[in-house]
A and B are shown apart, each in its own frame.
Chain A
Amino acid sequence: MSGDLREIWVYLSASPLLGLTMTLVAYQAGYWLYRKSGLNPLLNPVLIAVVVLVAMLALTATEYSAYFEGAQFVHFLLGPATVALAVPMFQQLQQVRRSMTALIVAVVAGSATAASSAVGIGWLLGASRETLLSLAPKSVTTPIAMGIAEQIGGLPSLTAVLVILTGMTGAMLGTATLNLLRVRDWRARGLAVGVAAHGIGTARAIAVHPVAGAFAGLAMGLNGVATAVLLPLLAGWLRI
């Protein structure tokens, strides 16, 4: 009997089906809890899914690369989903056009704040050079951030992890911060989470309000471009 089970396990762990299904089930469980809590930002579904999956992989001594064989099908959809952000942006075109100047200046200010505060605080607390360079693009959407990290001498795969931790932080604490600051303009609320917490912040904004969602998506794209242009120049000047 246990021989059969082991055979089944060996077969399944070598097929992409297991990693893919585990990802969807863990996310569904996280999403169910998130919905049950009335979209409580602290019960972030990405966080729940990641914790569950890391625990399961650790318990079964499964390599990340074996898991990713299956999970890459979900990962691949990030590309088309990014392209799809053009749709809500277009639907909010009037709003976007009306506040174009304010929007661009606010995104550049946020982009500079994100990189400089992360590197500054990390440096004060004694983070290594490699960590600092991987931390600098942490607010930028994953694919752009990895490219930037590579260019300035960080570790792209560490950056990917830091980016996602940042996204979860922003999605979990953004609401409280914005309420504390009494920011009521949906454009500003969406823009802020899009700049600070890229796609995970945008996912939260889309769930809460359509205007916030569109501005978050736009902010994510613009922040990616701004950081990709500015950060390598800045790192060159500072010779970090």
Chain B
Amino acid sequence: MLGAITILLVFQLAGEIVRLLTGAPVPGPVIGMALLFAALVLRRRLTDGRGLAEIPETLVNTADGLLRHLSLLFVPAGVGVMLYLPLIAAEWLAISVALVASTLVTIAVTALAMTWLARLTGRSPGEANGRGPE
């Protein structure tokens, strides 16, 4: 647990340093995510056949724990809505219609493009096939 948190913070810090050095328009944590992903792929390649192919269990458990309540982490920024209530009230129609319609259209376009393109590239969804609520 402590080791896993240290790993996550080290990669976040590395991402932050890469961002500062390169001036990339992407935040440090997202670069950190890419770096950790690359490190996991590299680790599997280097240790292939020695029974170390899987991710350390503690990292899996800690990541699971953090991500299970990912939405909690958005609450403090969400409460910031109170600072903008007057502005949002003044333009409530434009803001709410734009938010809701744009979000639904984006979901539809992305899902249909993915379904269509995956079918076009000729590979069946196989076990990825699913239905139902999410």
Task: List residues of A whose CB falls within 8 A of some B CB.
Answer: 23-24, 26-27, 31, 39, 41, 44-46, 49-50, 53-54, 57-58, 64, 67-68, 71-72, 74-75, 77-91, 93, 95, 98-99, 101-103, 105-107, 109-110, 113-114, 117-119, 121-122, 125-128, 131, 135, 138-139, 141-144, 147-148, 151, 157-158, 160-162, 164-171, 173-175, 177-179, 181, 183-193, 195-197, 199-200, 202-209, 211-213, 219, 221, 224-225, 228-229, 232
Count chain A CB atoms within 10 A of each CB in B25, B29, B70, B134 and give the residue with the most.
B134
The answer to whether A46 and B78 have CB atoms under 8 Å apart is yes
For A99, the chain B residues whose CB sits under 8 A away are 114, 118, 121, 123
Main secondary structure of the interface of A (DSSP, over half): helix
Task: List residues of B whose CB falls within 8 A of some A CB.
Answer: 5, 8-9, 11-12, 15, 25-30, 32-34, 36-37, 40-41, 55, 59-60, 62-64, 66-84, 87-88, 91, 93-95, 97-115, 117-118, 120-121, 123, 125, 128-134
The answer to whether A185 and B70 have CB atoms under 8 Å apart is no
Q: How many cross-chain pairs have Cβ atoms below 8 Å apart between A and B?
A: 360
Q: How far is the CA of A102 from the CA of B91 in the complex (A)?
A: 37
For B97, the chain A residues whose CB sits under 8 A away are 121, 125
